[in-house]
């Protein structure tokens, strides 16, 4: 069946139908996006997808509202918004349209649902309160930022709400597509990291062909023996530590304390390595002019870390 119309409600908008529109307009680029509350349009019919309006949820009839009672719930009892419903039914097709490899679609679909879609669902349904983030951050959540693109209360020019919605759509699209591309890149990186781990064997230094997310691959491989990572960065090479978790700055091993905050000649003198250029004061990254110099720094850091651990 050809989809000719994507139908959501008129007036002010929320993040859920805006983000739903991101998904649907990519999948059905030739369809007309119609914002209305006309009952003849928000009633299911052939060729249309209705969302965030209509008072019903019926995937077979292609209507995806969540305001009715009983409202649609996830298996764990948490409420859907229209975004969650659209993602559940069209998200995999969207990922395929974004050229995500078929082998990664299910994992990325679940990850995006958990980390991006669910928070929008919960905020839209009032299941979480953004003010609980504190006054400094409560206005910085994605739903709040997207909804700040609505017209102000006294802008009553004809078509103002629709213009604001269509102006906000590419902003919302940028966030969604950036998240998907980043998640897909992490899966690509994981395969490269796995190959590098095999090459490292029992050594403590992981050498990568470029900068990339690596900790997930290291943990998945159970490579607890790895302490540092090196890779080229432009004309230089970088030596970095490996964090012990997502929510901490603690590392498996830090770079030598004697290097902290030093650059160029001072770092060369402290490390004994010709070509050493920089070490962050936090001792989590260092830079040298060549692979050989970086490997020497990494070997020194490994020996110091092993000695410190007994």
Question: Which of 254, 293, 261, 256 lies closest to 278 in space, CA to CA?
Answer: 261
For the chain, 310 residues long, the average pLDDT of each consecutive 10-residue run is 96 97 98 98 97 98 97 97 98 97 96 97 91 78 93 90 97 98 93 95 97 93 96 97 89 97 97 98 97 98 91
Predicted pLDDT of residue 84: 98
pTM given for the model: 0.84
Predicted pLDDT of residue 250: 92
Sheet of 48-51, strand order: 32-35, 5-8, 48-51, 63-64, 57-58
Cβ–Cβ under 8 Å, residues 52 and 82: yes
Predicted pLDDT of residue 212: 95
Predicted pLDDT of residue 4: 98
CB count, 10 Å around CB of 38? 10
Distance of alpha carbon 185 from alpha carbon 196, whole angstroms: 16
* Angle in degrees, CA 207, 308, 276, rounded to 5: 45
Predicted pLDDT of residue 235: 95
Q: Coil, helix or strand for 104?
A: helix
Looking up tokens 């919302």, which residue turns up?
Answer: 172
Predicted pLDDT of residue 166: 97
Predicted pLDDT of residue 156: 85
Where do runs of H (alpha helix) occur along 148-246?
Answer: 160-200, 215-220
CB count, 10 Å around CB of 196? 22
For 228, the enclosing helix (H) or strand (E) is: strand 228-233
The dihedral region occupied by 256, where left means phi > 0, alpha psi between -120 and 50, and beta the remainder, is beta
* Angle in degrees, CA 165, 170, 172, rounded to 5: 80
Predicted pLDDT of residue 75: 95
Predicted pLDDT of residue 1: 78
Predicted pLDDT of residue 71: 96
Predicted pLDDT of residue 306: 95
Distance of alpha carbon 18 from alpha carbon 229, whole angstroms: 41
For 64, the enclosing helix (H) or strand (E) is: strand 63-64
């Amino acid at each position: 069946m050809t989809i000719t119309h994507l139908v959501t409600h008129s007036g002010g908008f929320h993040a859920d139908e805006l983000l739903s529109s991101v998904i649907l307009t990519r999948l059905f680029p030739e369809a007309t996006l119609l914002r209305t509350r006309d009952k003849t349009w928000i009633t299911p019919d052939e060729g249309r997808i209705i969302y965030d309006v209509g008072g019903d949820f019926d995937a077979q009839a292609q209507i995806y509202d969540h305001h009715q009672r009983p409202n649609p719930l996830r298996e764990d009892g948490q409420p859907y918004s229209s975004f969650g419903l659209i993602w559940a039914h069209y998200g995999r097709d969207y990922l395929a349209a974004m050229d995500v490899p078929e082998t990664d679609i299910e994992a990325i679909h679940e990850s995006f649902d958990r980390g991006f879609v669910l928070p929008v669902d919960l905020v839209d349904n009032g299941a979480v309160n953004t003010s609980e983030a504190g006054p400094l951050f409560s206005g910085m959540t994605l739903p709040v930022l997207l909804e700040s693109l609505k017209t102000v209360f006294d802008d009553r020019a004809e078509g103002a709400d629709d213009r604001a919605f269509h102006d906000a759509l590419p902003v919302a699209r940028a966030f969604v597509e950036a998240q998907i591309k980043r998640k897909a890149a992490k899966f690509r990186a994981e395969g490269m990291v796995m190959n590098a781990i095999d090459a490292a064997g029992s050594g403590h230094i992981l050498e990568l062909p470029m900068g990339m997310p690596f900790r997930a691959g290291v943990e998945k491989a159970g490579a607890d023996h790895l302490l540092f990572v090196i890779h080229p960065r432009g004309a230089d090479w970088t030596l970095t530590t490996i964090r012990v978790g997502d929510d901490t700055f603690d590392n498996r091993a830090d770079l030598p304390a004697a290097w902290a905050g030093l650059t160029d000649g001072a770092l060369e003198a402290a490390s004994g390595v010709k070509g050493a250029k920089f070490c962050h004061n936090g001792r989590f990254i260092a830079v040298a002019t060549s692979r050989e110099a970086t490997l020497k720094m990494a070997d020194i850091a490994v020996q110091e870390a092993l000695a410190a651990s007994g």
